[in-house]
Structure 1
Amino acid sequence: MSTLAWFAIGSLAVWVWLLLGQGFFWRTDQRLPDGDGSPGAGPPERWPRVAVVVPARDEAAVLPLSLPSLLAQDYPGRAEVFLVDDGSTDGTGRLAGELAGRLGGLPLTVVSPGEPEPGWTGKLWALRHGMALARAREPAPEFLLLTDADIAHDPRSLRLLVSAAVEHDLDLVSQMARLQVVSVWERLVVPAFVYFFAQLYPFRWINRARPLATAAAGGCVLLRTETAVAAAVPDSIRRAVIDDVSLARAVRRTGGRIWLGLADHVDSVRPYPGLGELWRMVSRSAYTQLRNSPLLLAGTVAGLVVVYVVPPVALLAGAAAGDGAAAWAGGVAWAVMAGTYLPMLRYYRQPPWLAPLLPFTAVLYLLMTVDSAVQHYRGRGAAWKGRTYSADHVSRQEG
């Protein structure tokens, strides 16, 4: 057999393993029940007190779409919102106060802690002050909902999160918000972003009684207050750029139980209309995820090529050259790849003809990852909202 055929067979073997042996990562059924708990279960006997903490930096453009959804939560217990204005220059804090005054709903407190101290990322510095302010209340909240300023919640969102945590005795409940998919580039890149994340951190493995993986989605995290104290969060992860995964690992180290799934009632309102915005979203932390390691970068690039690029190349080149083995193996591998992508496309309400384009999107992610490394070595890695974090700043917890 030709060298190309061997590569195609190797890629097919990897895809068979991914299909059956990687926690069924491609399924999209890990979601909160659409009610007050699991099927057949009633609501909690007592609804615990909750504090919602929202770190916000220059979010005036999206705040009118997200903050009203938090203030309007239909929650039977006591809850209040703490918005932490992280050095905004666009009037984020003032706008939040105006929205609360006009719309009413849950009580809102706006606080501005100033620039982060050395050794802290901006978001975690903001969370630290918001969480401390919430815990100072009497009585202290039993749960903390940590949610980003660009996340809109259905009125039932908090009720469903708390119900799941109480019913199943969970310390951390996290949902991956449904990202906006409108533009052509969003259609190509966004569903694949969640697909690749689930491939790295299969939700079923995370949600097992004996977990095989650990992760969370930072846009929507419900955390028990006593667990946050036991895990010394956020101080213990203050350097983390990929803070959601680091948070989950800190909780797991205390023996905490974690659940992660896709959201039906939590949506991102931040648009990414062009490739540039999506490129920056991925590249700002891609090399950090690889521990800033050239060896891991090389392995990732090689893996992406073998797994995603070889199948279509083998099919097309094999067919043109009369190499039946290469064409057959490449075609089957490409079909398996596309088949595993279909459930995520359905979740995002996208047409199935996008599935065969996954190799093209994988090449984009490969280039974004390489660019992330280039920016790192130019001293511009891990940049977000005007702040750049060096390799010395980033904690090893990211790996």
Structure 2
Amino acid sequence: MSTLAWFALGSLAVWAWLLLGQGFFWRTDQRLPPVPRGRPDRWPRVVVVVPARDEAGVLPLSLPSLLAQDYPGVAEVILVDDGSTDGTGKLAVGLAGRYGGLPLTVVSPGEPEAGWTGKLWALRHGMALARAREPEFLLLTDADIAHEPDSLRLLVAAATANGLDLVSQMARLRVASFWERLVVPAFVYFFAQLYPFRWINRRRPLATAAAGGCVLLRTETAVAAGVPEVIRQAVIDDVSLARAVRRAGGRIWLGLAERVDSVRPYPGLGELWRMVARSAYAQLRHSPLLLVGTVAGLAVVYLVPPAALVAGVAGGDAVAAWAGGVAWAVMAGTYGPMLRYYRQPLWLAPLLPFTAFLYLLMTVDSAVRHHRGRGAAWKGRTYARPEATSER
């Protein structure tokens, strides 16, 4: 057999394993766990903490949804204005006066101390202020996340009924522009492939992760885990948070959201590119060896199948064409459920190799930025490689 045929067969073998052996990552049925006993006997106190930096563009679409939560217990919102220059804090106060609803407190902690990322510095102050209210739960949610009125109630009911210490939902990201349709569903698909939700949600978990846009966290567990101090340098703070909670003995659940949406627009490829590139190399622990392995893996798994099919048909290599075609079909088939979740046409599924190639380039660019001293840049701040102690 030709070298191309061997590569195509290898890719097909990988896809057979991904289809059946990677926690059925491609299925999209991991939604909030059921509440077996109906509504809780007692609704615990909750404080919502929202870190916000230069979010005036999205806050009118997100903050009113938090203030309007239909929660039977006591709840309030703390927005931490993380050095905004666009009037985010003032806008938040104005929105609270206009819409009413849950009580809102706006605080500004100042610039982060050395060794802290901006978001975690903001969470540190917001969580400290929240603990003074003695809540049983904290809802950590990003400033671009809009919640349906029953979102908090459903999160708390799921956590209390199932004995969970951290309940996280992957917010449904905005999909409107051409590039959002091409890139965004794949972003969640790749995340689920790396961290299969079923493995995370097992009684004996095989993986650990969370989605930082929507995290309901039991306060006593946060204290026991030393959060957020123990993860103060983390760029990928949601996964680091989940690992800290797991080390403290907490139970974690992660799934796709039905009542939680991101309103942040990524209309062009440039915005999406920066979103991925700012943390891709951090995900690889800033390791050149892992970078090479990731690039090679993406090429074999996603790029070889269509290349083998086309080259095999053109060159009369039946094995390469057959193996490449079947691998490409399996790939597209596993992508279909995510496209349906995002209400996108299934004809986008065969384009996944092209999207994977874009992610490959974004990952390489992330490494180049890091080695040029730009690291993980976000909203005017650049974060260097964390010290090893930050992940303990």
> Shorter-chain-normalised TM-score: which range?
over 0.9
Looking at structure 1, the residues matched to 343 and 297 of structure 2 have their Cα atoms a distance apart, in angstroms, of: 29
CA distance in 2, matches of 1:230, 1:252: 11
The whole-number CA distance in structure 1 between the counterparts of 2:99 and 2:286 is 45
- Calculate the TM-score normalised by the size of structure 1: 0.97
Matches within 5 A, 1:182-221: 182-221=176-215
Does residue 1:370 correspond to 2:364, yes or no?
A: yes
Q: Find the residue that maps to 2:361 and give its secondary structure.
A: helix
Distance 1:188 1:300 in 2: 21
Q: Aligned equivalents of 1:298 and 1:145: distance in 2?
A: 38
Asked whether the 8 Å contact 1:240–1:395 carries over to 2, the reply is no
Distance 1:151 1:394, change over 3 A: farther
Name which of 321, 328, 332 aligns with 1:334: 328
User: What residue is the counterpart of 1:122 in the other structure?
Assistant: 118
- C-alpha deviation, 1:41, in angstroms: 3.0
Inter-partner Cα distance in structure 1 for 2:46 and 2:390: 31
Task: Return the alpha-carbon distance in structure 2 between the equivalents of residues 133 and 354 of structure 1.
Answer: 46
AA at the equivalent of 2:77:
V
> For residue 72 of structure 1, what is the aligned residue in structure 2?
68
Q: Structure 2 length normalisation: TM-score?
A: 0.99
After superposition, the C-alpha distances for 1:145-203 in whole angstroms (9 at most, x for unaligned) are 00000000000100000000000000000000000000000000000000000000000
Counterparts of 2:61 and 2:217, CA distance in 1: 24
Structure-1 separation of matches of 2:343 and 2:335? 12
Give the C-alpha shift of residue 392 in structure 1.
4.7
1:224 aligned onto 2:231: no
Give the unaligned 5+ runs of structure 1. none
Q: The residue matched to 1:30 in structure 2 has which SS? A: coil
- Structure 2: gaps spanning 5 or more residues: none
The 2-side partners of 1:253 and 1:41 are apart by 29
In the alignment, is the contact (CA less than 8 A) between 1:239 and 1:394 conserved in 2?
Answer: no
Work out the CA distance in 2 between the residues paired with 1:308 and 1:204.
Answer: 23
What is the number of equivalent residue pairs in this alignment? 392
Specify the SS of the correspondent of 2:324. Answer: helix
Other structure's SS at 1:388 match: strand
Question: Which of structure 1's runs of 4+ aligned residues deviate more than 3 A?
Answer: 392-396
Counterpart among 129, 141, 145 of residue 133 in structure 1: 129
d(CA) in 2 for partners of 1:100 and 1:395? 40
- For 1:292, the equivalent position in structure 2 comes to 286
1:47-100 alpha-carbon deviations (Å, 9 max, x no partner): 000000000000000000000000000000000000000000000000000000
Correspondence for 1:84: 80
What's the CA shift string for 1:243-286, capped at 9, x where partnerless?
A: 00000000000110000000000000000000000000000000
**Structure 2 CA distance for aligned equivalents of residues 394 and 236 of structure 1:** 11
Cα pair 1:65 1:269 within 8 Å, conserved: yes
Match of 2:98 among 77, 80, 102: 102
* Contact 2:232–2:390, Cα closer than 8 Å, also in 1: no
What SS does structure 1 have at the residue aligned with 2:14? helix
Q: 2:55 aligns with which of 27, 48, 59?
A: 59
Letter of the aligned partner of 1:308 in structure 2?
Answer: Y
Map of 1:42 onto structure 2: 38
Pick the aligned partner of 1:174 from 159, 168, 178. Answer: 168
Give the corresponding residue for 1:5.
5
Q: What letter matches 1:15 in structure 2?
A: W
Deviation string 1:212-234 (CA, Å, 9 cap, x unpaired) is: 00000000000000000000100
Q: Is it true that 1:264 corresponds to 2:252 in the alignment? A: no
CA–CA separation in structure 2 for the residues paired with 1:223 and 1:313 = 46
Q: 1:390 aligned to 370, 384, 387, which one?
A: 384
CA contact (8 A) 2:230 2:390 kept: no
Match of 1:245 in 2: 239
Which whole-Å CA distance do the structure 2 matches of 1:15 and 1:396 have between them?
Answer: 35
Structure 2: how far apart are the matches of 1:159 and 1:168? 14
3-state SS, counterpart of residue 80 of structure 1: strand
Determine if the alignment matches structure 1 residue 163 to structure 2 residue 160.
no
Shift of 1:397: 2.6
Secondary structure in 2 matching 1:264: strand
CA–CA separation in structure 2 for the residues paired with 1:32 and 1:215 = 16
User: Any conservation in 1 of the 2:11–2:304 contact (CA below 8 Å)?
Assistant: yes
Q: CA deviation at 1:32?
A: 1.2
